[in-house]
Amino acid sequence: MEREGKVYVFDHPLIQHKVSLMRMKETSVKEFRELAQEVAMLMGFEATRNLPLKDVEIETPITKTTTKMLEGEDIAIVPILRAGLGFVDGMLALVPNAKVGHIGLYRDPETHEPHEYYCKLPKDVEKRQIFVVDPMLATGGSAVAAIDFIKQRGGKNITFMCLIAAPEGIRALHEAHPEIDIYIAAKDDHLDENAYIVPGLGDAGDRLYGTK
- 196 binds ligand URA, rule: CB under 6 A: yes
86 marked as binding residue: no
Residue closer to ligand URA by CB (options 66, 194) is: 194
Q: Which of 89, 148, 181, 206 is the catalytic position? A: 206
Active site residue 148: no
- Least Cβ distance, residue 136 to ligand URA (angstroms): 4
- Least Cβ distance, residue 209 to ligand URA (angstroms): 11
Residue closer to ligand URA by CB (options 133, 138) is: 138
Active site residue 111: yes
Q: Which of residues 67-106 bind ligand URA (CB under 6 A)?
A: 83
Give the binding range for ligand URA (CB under 6 A) out of 47-55, 73-81, 179-187, 194-202.
Answer: 194-202
Give the binding range for ligand URA (CB under 6 A) out of 12-20, 94-102, 106-114, 202-210.
Answer: 202-210
**Among 201, 205, 175, CA closest to 188:** 201
Give the binding range for ligand URA (CB under 6 A) out of 59-67, 120-128, 154-162, 196-204.
Answer: 196-204
20 marked as binding residue: no
By CB under 6 A, name the one of 35, 136, 163, 186 that touches ligand URA: 136
> Measured in Å, how far apart are the chain's first and last C-alpha atoms?
45
139 marked as binding residue: yes
DSSP code per residue over the chain: -PPPP-EEE---HHHHHHHHHHH-TT--HHHHHHHHHHHHHHHHHHHTTT--EEEEEEE-SS-EEEEEEES---EEEEEBTTGGGGGHHHHHHH-TT-EE-EEEEEE-TTT--EEEEEEE--TTGGGSEEEEE-SEESSSHHHHHHHHHHHHTT--EEEEEEEEE-HHHHHHHHHHSTT-EEEEEEE-SEE-TTS-EESS-S-HHHHHHT--
Site of interaction with ligand URA (CB under 6 A)? 83, 136, 138, 196-197, 200, 203-205
